[in-house]
């Protein structure tokens, strides 16, 4: 570990390591092709077009009916949160399918949970991880490397048999604007996904980037573009994607509503909400505020609530 606690020991995927100019984005919105507008097939007899379409269907749209195997397959794996109550709520952990949104007020513990997930994903499957690395995109503050170092030490003590270079497997990038974020996710992240086994992509946060927009139509378009890049990765590389959102008080009736509106809400598969509870727990002279973890919606779990605390050891259960 070199002396500089902010950047030392970290690999970043912007700049020197990967030549961004040589990379084509993985998702190309193809113009309506031969089946609709192209002159190429205008003189083709109907039967031939049918043959082409059948051949295409055999390649791209094949049904899978062994749902039991599917449920156990890598596309629907779980990453443990490291906390029993949260895992119970989530039925195992964060799912490697679709976009998981974590929203909450400032200081409630979103980044802490993300740091813990960045470590647990590196654990082997037997311990609830994926044995893969992390791509962490910061848009607000600089990456809290000191805190991560502290947590990594906790993990080393907790799992002494695992010889994992926790800090070395987290790839960090800072972006401040929407265009840069889209380029990062569409181009640079594509190359990273191809060369390394990434199990978790984090964007902390999306709210900071998109709340600055004036043009709501362009905002919806850019959010959708971002989401489509991310969904391409979750499907192809069986990784989880977590996007952090902020909350705002819209009215007296709607306190702490997630930002970015309906357009963003429809892009996510799971929405998790963190909030502070007016309850404190004393452990050895230290007072810890209890936090509330709520599953706002998810395809596999009902609306459930759990409580947790944040200590030196990370995100932990509230002692009974």
Partner 1 sequence: MLKTTCFDIWRQEIETPRIVTLCKELDDKLGGGIAAGFITEFCGGPGCGKTQMCFQLCINVQFPKCIGGLQSKAIYLDTNQDFSPTRILELAVSTEKRFQRLLGKNSFDPSSKCDFTANSILAGINYIYCENYLMLQTAVENIPEMVRKDKDIKLIVIDSFSFPIRVIEEVAERTGITYNLLTILQHLTMEYKIVVVITNELTTRFNDNEWKICPALGDSHAHKINHRIIVSKCNEQKYYMALVEKSNMMPQVAIPFVIKHNGIRGIS
**Residues near partner 1 (CB under 8 A):** 27, 29-30, 32-33, 35-36, 53-54, 56-57, 60-68, 70-71, 76, 91, 97-98, 221, 224-225, 228, 231-232, 234-235, 261-263, 265-269, 271, 296-297, 299-300, 302-303
- Give the span between the Cα atoms of 231 and 27, in whole angstroms: 10
- Least Cβ distance, residue 237 to partner 1 (angstroms): 13
Nearer to partner 1, 174 or 224 (CB): 224
Measured at the CA of 267, the angle between CA 261 and CA 268, to 5 degrees, comes to 95
Nearer to partner 1, 78 or 145 (CB): 78
- Least Cβ distance, residue 220 to partner 1 (angstroms): 8
- Write phi, then psi, for 56 (nearest 5 degrees): -65, -40
Nearer to partner 1, 3 or 254 (CB): 254
DSSP per residue, 208-242? HHHTT-S-HHHHHHHHHHHHHHHHHHHHHH--EEE
Nearer to partner 1, 1 or 70 (CB): 70
- Least Cβ distance, residue 64 to partner 1 (angstroms): 5
- Least Cβ distance, residue 116 to partner 1 (angstroms): 23
Q: How many residues does the chain have?
A: 320
Nearer to partner 1, 112 or 238 (CB): 238
Classify the C-alpha dihedral 27-242-129-187 as positive or negative: positive
Nearer to partner 1, 27 or 164 (CB): 27
**Strand duo 94-95 + 78-79: pairing:** antiparallel
CA distances from 158 to 120, 127, 147, 234, 252 (A): 11, 11, 17, 29, 44
Residues pairing with 281 in the sheet: 288
Of 106, 101, 77, nearest to 256 by C-alpha is 106
- Least Cβ distance, residue 227 to partner 1 (angstroms): 9
Nearer to partner 1, 54 or 126 (CB): 54
Nearer to partner 1, 170 or 178 (CB): 178
Contacts of 115 (CB under 8 A, 6+ apart): 144, 147, 148, 151, 314
Identify whether the C-beta of residue 198 lies closer than 8 Å to the C-beta of residue 132.
yes
- Give the span between the Cα atoms of 269 and 295, in whole angstroms: 11
Nearer to partner 1, 19 or 38 (CB): 38
Of 232, 235, 224, nearest to 262 by C-alpha is 224
Of 79, 76, 80, nearest to 67 by C-alpha is 76
- Give the span between the Cα atoms of 197 and 209, in whole angstroms: 27
- Least Cβ distance, residue 230 to partner 1 (angstroms): 10
- Least Cβ distance, residue 275 to partner 1 (angstroms): 15
- Least Cβ distance, residue 252 to partner 1 (angstroms): 15
- Least Cβ distance, residue 24 to partner 1 (angstroms): 16
């Amino acid at each position: 570990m070199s002396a500089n606690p902010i950047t030392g020991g970290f690999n970043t995927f912007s700049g020197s390591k990967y030549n961004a100019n040589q990379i084509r984005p993985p998702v190309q919105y193809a113009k309506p092709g031969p089946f609709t507008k192209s002159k190429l097939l205008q003189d083709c007899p109907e039967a031939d077009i049918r043959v082409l379409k059948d051949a295409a269907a055999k390649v791209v749209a094949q049904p899978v009916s062994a749902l039991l195997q599917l449920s156990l397959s890598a596309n629907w794996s779980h990453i443990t949160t490291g906390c029993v109550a949260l895992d119970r709520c989530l039925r195992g952990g964060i799912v490697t399918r679709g976009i998981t949104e974590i929203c909450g007020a400032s200081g409630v513990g979103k980044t802490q949970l993300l740091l813990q997930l960045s470590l647990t994903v590196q654990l082997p499957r037997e311990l609830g991880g994926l044995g893969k690395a992390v791509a962490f995109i910061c848009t607000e503050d600089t990456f809290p490397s000191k805190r991560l170092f502290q947590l990594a030490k906790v993990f080393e003590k907790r799992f002494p048999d695992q010889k994992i270079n926790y800090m070395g497997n987290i790839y960090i990038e800072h972006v401040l604007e929407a265009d840069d974020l889209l380029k990062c996710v569409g181009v640079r992240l594509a190359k990273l996904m191809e060369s390394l086994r990434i199990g978790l992509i984090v964007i902390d946060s999306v709210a900071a980037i998109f709340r600055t927009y004036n043009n709501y139509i362009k905002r919806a378009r850019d959010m959708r573009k971002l989401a489509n890049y991310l969904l391409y990765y979750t499907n192809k590389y069986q990784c989880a994607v977590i996007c952090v959102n902020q909350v705002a008080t819209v009215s007296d009736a709607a306190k702490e509503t997630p930002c970015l509106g309906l357009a963003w809400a429809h892009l996510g598969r799971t929405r998790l909400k963190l909030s502070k509870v007016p309850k404190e727990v004393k452990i050895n002279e230290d007072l810890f505020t209890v936090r509330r973890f709520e599953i706002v919606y998810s395809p596999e779990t009902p609306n459930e609530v759990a409580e947790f605390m944040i200590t030196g050891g990370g995100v932990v259960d509230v002692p009974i």
